[in-house]
Structure 1
Amino acid sequence: MRILKSAALILGLTFLPLPATAQGMPPEQIKQILDLTKANWVAFRDWQGQELIYFTHLEAWKCGIDYVFYGLNGGPMDQVWELDSCDPDSPNAVLKEKPYLERPDGSTQSISVQLIFPDGTKSAVETFLYKP
């Protein structure tokens, strides 16, 4: 039911008269989509003795994000995930060869992420726990 409400909200927002971005969506709509999908900002995977932290979802919305700051294991939010450049012809395409961080097995307990938007506003800091 929550997914249906979220989808209805997103669809309803498409009729708001706001300036469009390269993704053809108003900046406020992109921020709302990212807020509604914050549980998907990062994903974890064990792979061949490493921990991979994927930023694929954020790469797909890169045209609506200026910066992605992150911190690992409760540390300071002083690292930057470098998003690919926005391509207005394919704004949601994820073409980065490695849209993930590679970490040694057993080294990650959590990652905290904060987004900075083109209008200068910041998202709340979201913390994701790694559960192998």
Structure 2
Amino acid sequence: MMGSLRFWRTGVSACAMVVVSGTAGAQEKSQVPPQALYQTMLDASRQSGWVQFRDFDGAQWIYFTALQTLHCRLMEIRYSINSKALDKRFELVECNPQNPMALPPGAGPETIALKLPAATAQTIAVQVVWEDGSESAVAVYEPCMDVGEQSCAWPVE
């Protein structure tokens, strides 16, 4: 089986496509970028927040959207509320290698967010485990103050 890796850049994002040719001439296409690109994206978003807090409609929402876009190269997302125990897991959506950073059609809010009673989370600790078993550093965030219903997270550590 022969294969090639092709990279291209559009604007500020980069993509990769692996094309593998079988003996019968059939092609399997995958547009899943390499793990190194996902790690760069994660590192770049650490300061602005791997998660975001939002007070909305009498509840506190914690959005995992930025991490969920990395789902094709992640094994799990670990988190904990008001501690560093990392004792909870945020479920990853299924990977579609043809559209690796997108959520599946019909994905609801539960695929990107936790809904908690108002003012429940003072902090959230987050860590990702990559598909190769390596772990990111632990990031800890708290809600931003005086932002109304906007989503925002402030790094604590």
TM-score, normalized by the shorter chain, greater than 0.5: yes
Equivalent pairs counted in the alignment come to: 116
The 1:68/1:115 distance shift into structure 2, 3 A limit, reads same
Q: Which residue of structure 2 lines up, in the alignment, with residue 30 of structure 1? A: 38
**Matching residue's letter, 1:30:** Y
Gaps of 5+ in 2: 1-11, 17-29, 146-157
Higher relative helix content: 1
Q: Which residue of structure 2 lines up, in the alignment, with residue 59 of structure 1? A: 68
Q: What's the offset of the Cα at 1:117?
A: 0.3
In the alignment, which of 127, 131, 139 is matched to residue 118 of structure 1?
131
Distance 2:31 2:136 in 1: 19
Distance 1:23 1:82 in 2: 22
Give me the TM-score of the superposition, normalised by structure 1: 0.78
Percent of residue pairs bearing the same amino acid type: 31
**Matching residue's letter, 1:116:** V
Query: Could you list the per-position Cα deviations for residues 31-59 of structure 1 after superposition, in whole angstroms to 9, with x for gaps in the alignment?
Result: 12211112331111111100000011111
Distance 1:25 1:34 in 2: 13
- Three-state SS of the structure 2 residue aligned to 1:40 is coil
**Matching residue's letter, 2:99:** S
Decide which moves more: 121-130 or 93-102.
Answer: 93-102
**Matching residue's letter, 1:62:** H
